[in-house]
Amino acid sequence: MIVYLDLIFLTNFLIDGVLLYATARARKIRFAWWRLLLATGIGASYVVFMFIPEMSFLFTFLLKFCFALGMLAVAFGFPSLQHFLRNLGMFYAINFAVAGAILGINYFLESSSEVLDGIVIGQTGVDHHTISFTFTAVAVLLLPGLWIFRNVFKSAKKREEVTAFMAEVRIEIGQAETSCTGLIDTGNQLYDPLTRTPVMIMEASQWKEYIPESWMNRIREAEVDQIISGIGSEDSQDTFVWQDRLRLVPYRGINKATQFMLAIKPDRVVITHNEKQIESPKVLIGLDGGKLSSDNSYQAIIHPMLMQS
């Protein structure tokens, strides 16, 4: 028997690529093509190990599951456990749906075969695969499958509703420019109390190339007032290229205590929503030290007043 490993690899590469791409589309995940192709290559290489006797230990449920986890982590990253588990559920839901379709098509096309005690027998007399389902087996397999489909697609529907309030944000400060996804939040009523300028909240990590590390630590610890008080002092050795653009915006935290947020005055902010571009000349960019979204679906919170500019 001649085995063409290159054809087997390419076939599985195509199948795994389609499954990962379908997962990304169903979950509305923004991904990098090179990461998707790398994950697809990892999945396709697994089948090649079938023909290496020394690698037979890889063909266990646990290691197959670990390969699937590795593929998803490489393709879409690991922003949070909840986000990763949702990706995993969607990936297996699509796998089960495709596998069921293939099995059904194969059953209808096997017109010349006979089914004897749950075994499909072809013209050559060789059994293709065993199909022996009882009511208990169907219930055991069907109920978890329905639960996965219900929860995964319910999560996808919620994500689609949130996506309607997403917009692309481009910010220019001097010669620097960055782009990210923002969430239009009607509950965001943060203004600079002196100038009544609306504040768009943004993850400080989007500007980590320009912000000193010691400042980033102060932002994460909500000690930004010490940054302002330390500028120009003899003990301060950190310099910031946009020091003249800094503002200190007060706001009330979760514990109702007054806190301060470090903000930057940009040169230009362009928001793209529903193929419409809105330029906001009067806005401050408030820097948040954490993650605004647990699944990294957005990196900024857009003030609703900016959509009326």
- The answer to whether 297 touches 159, Cβ cutoff 8 Å, is yes
- Write phi, then psi, for 76 (nearest 5 degrees): -120, 0
CA neighbor of 112 nearest in space, from 104, 120, 123, 103: 123
Rounded CA gap, 68 and 60, in Å? Answer: 13
294-298-299-302 Cα dihedral, nearest 10 degrees: -120
SS3 state at 125: coil
Active-site annotation holds for 117: no
Distances (CA, A) of 16 to 47, 61, 83, 285: 11, 18, 20, 41
Tell me the torsion sign for CA atoms 74, 76, 79, 83: negative
224-229-235-239 Cα dihedral, nearest 10 degrees: 60
**∠ CA(231), CA(169), CA(238), 5° rounding?**
15
CA neighbor of 98 nearest in space, from 21, 4, 6: 21
Per-position DSSP letters for 61-91, written without gaps between them: HHHHHHHHHHHHHHHH--S-HHHHHHHHHHH
Rounded CA gap, 261 and 201, in Å? Answer: 9
Q: Catalytic residue among 6, 117, 127, 185, which?
A: 185
Active site residue ranges: 185
